[in-house]
Amino acid sequence: VNIISNSIKFAKKDIPLLIKISSSITTDSAATIYEAQSKQWFKITLVDNGIGFNDSFKNDIFKVFHRLNTNQYVGSGIGLAICKKIVESHNGYITAVGEINKGAQFDIYLPV
């Protein structure tokens, strides 16, 4: 829910908000970097067309109290950190990619 809320909060003012959510069972090769025991993953993908973020921050955005755009948007900077902890508590992981003014994509992987 936090990621969807962020998509709404960080929508661009001049274009309609677009959020795509999909899910699948995957053996995504990205999972191998996490050396998990699961061979199959339930993958949830959320893509939006919001303000995006510089891809160099893709790991920092999951740190507690880390905020980008502090002058323009309100927030505590804990939402994505909590999302990450919840996913990890289920032996999963979350990744993010972004591009300024293009949007962001979040992938959540949970073991099957």
Q: How far, CA to CA in Å, does 107 sit from each of 13, 80, 91?
A: 25, 12, 14
Per-residue b or e along 24-47, where b marks 16 or more CB atoms closer than 10 Å to that residue's CB: eebeeeebeeeeeeeeebbbbbbb
pLDDT band at 15 (very low <50, low <70, confident <90, very high): confident
- Tell me the DSSP string of 71-102: TT----S-HHHHHHHHHHHTT-EEEEEEETTT
pLDDT of residue 70: 55
Rounded CA separation 19/36 (Å): 29
pLDDT of residue 23: 87
Domain made up of 2-111: CATH architecture? 2-Layer Sandwich (3.30)
pLDDT by residue (tens digit) across 24-79? 888 765 555 555 566 788 899 999 898 888 888 888 888 875 655 655 655 567 88
pLDDT of residue 51: 85
pLDDT of residue 31: 56
pTM for the model: 0.79
